Amino acid sequence: MNSRRRSSQTRQMLREGLSYRFTRAVVRKPGGNVVNGLRTVQRDPPDVELFQYEHDRYVEVLRQVGLCVDVLPPLEDFPDSVFIEDTALCLPEGVIILRPGATSRAGEAGETARALADLGHATKQIDTSGTVDGGDILVTDSMILIGLSHRTNKPGFDALKQVLDHWGYTVQAVQTPENVLHFKSDCSLLDSETVLSTSRLSAASCFSTFKVLTVPSGEEAAANSIRVNDKVLVPAGFPATADLIDKENYAVEIVPTSQAALLDGGLSCMSLRIK
């Protein structure tokens, strides 16, 4: 298929709302080494058994909303490998293998590439010495927003944009708020025209064409919810945000993430969702 025809098909798929419609997911189970995972604020380490329980519940919910889920084994050499989204970007054209920004996570992308190849997914490497985390990438129906952060730098953005330009996507760089780990720590997509956002990000120019729902004060972590098919998965412990989304007539599913949160993780980063 030539690039012009592929770009036309990509734009058509975006108009059809495929940015939140998925058929498969790939997750990686947390290992015993998850207690050594990275965190920007010093907190108690996660409880391994509780993390595994919450991860099992997460997988159960993904299956309930219609996804076929492939569960990969833990990687004991990589404490943060449960947060698999940071290693790849999944689009209809294929899977782009990324370059995580944390030094301790550098080898995770290769492990993800091998696992996806074994599962039959086409993968493509980006050519860069820069870094880019999947947690900084928000795919919408009209554009792909990439947050520049402590984990995603300009060379990484430029290399990823080169691939996405070739595939016909509109790509925009945005600035992740100071002291926020990832762009999607503070926002998520609810539908083709609506985003959920923290107040510190809601006024950003990148959201000027969207309706923005702002999470209530004190519940900023709930901005990392995820729309999967006909449900919005919302982390447990944020009732005001769940009520806000429910009143906008979205179907809400509450998912426990207390242990992932201890490592600055959330709902979006624990899976690769595939169209």
Q: Return d(Cα 119, Cα 57) in angstroms, integer.
A: 23
By three-state DSSP, how is residue 264 classified? coil
Q: Taking the CB of residue 11, how many other CB atoms lie within 10 A of it?
A: 15
Burial track 262-275 (b if 16+ CB lie within 10 A, e otherwise):
bbbbbbbbbbbbbe
Q: Is 269 a catalytic residue?
A: yes
Catalytic residue from among 121, 182, 187, 206: 182
By three-state DSSP, how is residue 50 classified? helix
Q: Is 121 a catalytic residue?
A: no
Provide the annotated active-site residues: 182, 269
